[in-house]
Amino acid sequence: MAVPDPQPPEPTPPQRPAPPPPAAAPPPAAPPPAARAQNGDLSPDQLLARPPGGPTEGWQAVVYQVSGGRVRPAPGPAERARQQLQARIGAPVAGCQRVAVVALKGGVGKTTTTACLGAIFAEHRGDRVVAVDANPDPGTLGYRIRRDTTRTAKDLLANVDKLERYADVRAYASQTDLRLEVIASEADPARDEAFGEDDYRELAAVLERFYSLVLTDCGPGLLHSAMRAILPSADQLVVVAAPSLDGARSASLTLDWLERHGYQPLASSSVVVINAVRERGRVDVGKLQEHFARRCRAVVRVPYDRHLETGAEIVLDELAPATRRAYVQLAAAVADGFRPPPDGGQA
């Protein structure tokens, strides 16, 4: 029997070559030399022995300084609180904000409050701040600063038609070391006309063109002529009270009068200052504070300070630390009531 020829093996299909491995992604292009210098070689961290922005208080500041800025702890609670106060004081404003400092009676520290509040604002803000003495009689605001001109509000009004630039107005103001500008009242004892409604209205119209913040040191009381121009134009009030029964009653009567004469919004948005509080006074200042807190937007206690008692030129660096902190808190409370710009940015 014949043996069949063996079947040839079936051909194997050709093997497809394996696909090449994917090419590695090219390394990122090196930044141009200018970018490298800007982002690295010329950065503050590279060039400065102690980069800016580190803590300035407490153990955090010690660590930051000892390490030459290489270790930068977060600021402590006290420093954060101070930074928050500074941010509130420096809040941008819409146009010009007008703050009137009032008291029903004299001798409670109204002029001192105006000068110290204005100095704190000028110290912490980058815009122009002016304080004006609107006392119908010769006022004392000009005596609480170092004056560099003898010109007064009366002189400014006599030349109002010539005031076209900020430099023109600046010639009638004295400027402190902290950049607060002060326009003093006429101190001539021979003067026979009081600073009145028309005077203030004309003066305010000039100042609002060149200043972001105008503080008005009003004369004692609410019924003199100038108040008929001051109150309708004020954005907010600071009411100054002495830490005594009659001082508190006078401040409370001030709020009563405002509410009954169409100024209820000013009364409720006002800031009350309980001024010259002594550590061991016989009046319960806490209860006074509670009373006014129900009637206005904020209440600030300012402690008694020997430097302010003299009635001489005010130097912030001469204030006791607690007094200076109180005025910073007062400035922050007032700034909380500022009208912000429509876009929320710089005015």
Contact 153, 135 (CB under 8 A): no
The pLDDT value recorded for residue 50 is: 55
Separation of CA 135 from chain center: 25
Contact 183, 134 (CB under 8 A): no
- Across the chain, which has 347 residues, the per-10-residue mean pLDDT values are 52 54 54 51 56 69 77 78 93 95 95 98 96 93 93 95 96 94 86 88 97 97 96 98 96 98 98 96 94 98 96 95 98 96 68
- Which region holds residue 260: left if phi is over 0, alpha if psi is between -120 and 50, else beta? alpha
Specify the DSSP class assigned to residue 152. Answer: -
Cα distance between residue 232 and residue 342, in whole Å: 22
Read off the tokens for 11.
């051909």
The pLDDT value recorded for residue 138 is: 87
Cα distance between residue 92 and residue 89, in whole Å: 9
Crossing angle between the packed helical segments 285-293 and 245-260, to the nearest 10 degrees:
10
The pLDDT value recorded for residue 39 is: 53
The pLDDT value recorded for residue 331 is: 98
Read off the tokens for 274.
């309980």
Read off the tokens for 277.
């509080």
Cα distance between residue 115 and residue 163, in whole Å: 25
Instruction: Kindly give the pairing relationship between strand 129-134 and strand 97-102.
Output: unpaired
Instruction: Kindly give the pairing relationship between strand 174-175 and strand 181-183.
Output: antiparallel
